Structures are given as structure tokens and as C-alpha cells.
Amino acid sequence: MAVRTLTQRDAYFAAARGRLKLRRSDEAGRDPAAELIAYHRADETGSRWSAYHRVPVAAEDARALEAALSETVGALAVVAKTRAVGVVGRTRVHLDDVAGLGAFVELETVVAGGDRAAAETEHTAVVAELGLDRGRFAPVAGSYADLMLAANEAEQERA
């Protein structure tokens, strides 16, 4: 499996439904990239389905878009991470080192042609192949932004 390493900065914004984030990515040998991502996903622990829309944004416009969204809909959190990405079949394997939170493994299996059963079978196989089904790792509900907000809230309560 070929692995690429990226640095990503996700700015999360208030949304009426689901989640909204602006992602800026840098990868050695490639031009910087940005995209606006809107998605819906249950806040359940473990594997779950999500529906999303990705809109490419010119990298040079990302800062201005972030400022406009922050002023109009409200900024929630900024998540900075280094992500190593590999692909197994239709499953993207993300090894994330998230600033202030630690290390995580995230799997994204694409549902091709609406075949959820095949996607679920592949996802389960990749989970087993990576040894993620052995109880050594705690599944996470929510997003990195949710974890960041909870950590900030806990820190404020201690202060």
C-alpha cells in the first residue's frame, strides 16, 4: 500500500444540520489545496455511514472564505493534523496525528453504485486486517472538532 503524508487544517463552522468545515491541505510535491466539506454522520461510537458534499475552493481564496464563514455562521473549532493516507480497495486508511488530541486511525470505505453490503464487507475485512477489531483501540463518536471542544471545555472547568 502506497502511503502519502499531508498536513491538514480543518476549520469547523456552525451549521443548521450536520457539519461544515473548510479543509486546507498541503502535501510535498503538490500545490496547496482547499475544499469546503458539508456532511451528515450520526454521533455513534464505531463505524457509521455518512453523506457528504465536497466543493473545491481555490487555495488562495481559503483564508478569505474562512473569515467570511466565521463572521456569518460562526467558527467552532480549528483542528490541525498530520495525516498519512493509504488505500486498500475502496477504503482510505488515515493515520492521523491531531494537535492537542493525539493519534487516531480513521477508515473511509466508499459505497460504489449504492452497494452498501459490499462496502460493509470490505470495511469489516480492513478493520480485521489492521487488527482494529481486537478491543485495543477505543472507538470515537463525533468528530475531531467535537473532541477538541470537549477537551477545551474540560480544561476551562479545571481552571
Q: What is the pLDDT of residues 74-101, one digit of tens each?
A: 999 999 999 999 999 999 999 999 999 9
**How far apart, in Å, are the Cα atoms of 130 and each of 21, 107, 121, 124, 126?**
29, 10, 14, 10, 6
Q: Is the pLDDT of residue 156 over 80?
A: yes
The whole-angstrom separation of Cα 60 and Cα 128 is 41
At residue 14, does pLDDT exceed 90? yes
- As a whole-number percent, the residues of the chain with pLDDT over 90 amount to 76
Question: What is the tens place of the pLDDT at every residue in 131-146?
Answer: 998 778 888 888 999 9
User: What is the residue whose three cell numbers read 470490505?
Assistant: 122
Architecture of domain 3-158: Beta Barrel (2.40)
* Beta-bridge partners for 40: 51
Q: Which helix (H) or strand (E) holds 136?
A: none
pLDDT at 62 exceeding the cut of 80: yes
Q: What is the spatial distance between Cα 7 and Cα 28, in angstroms, rounded to a whole number?
A: 9
Q: What's the pLDDT at 96?
A: 98
Q: What is the pLDDT of residue 91?
A: 96
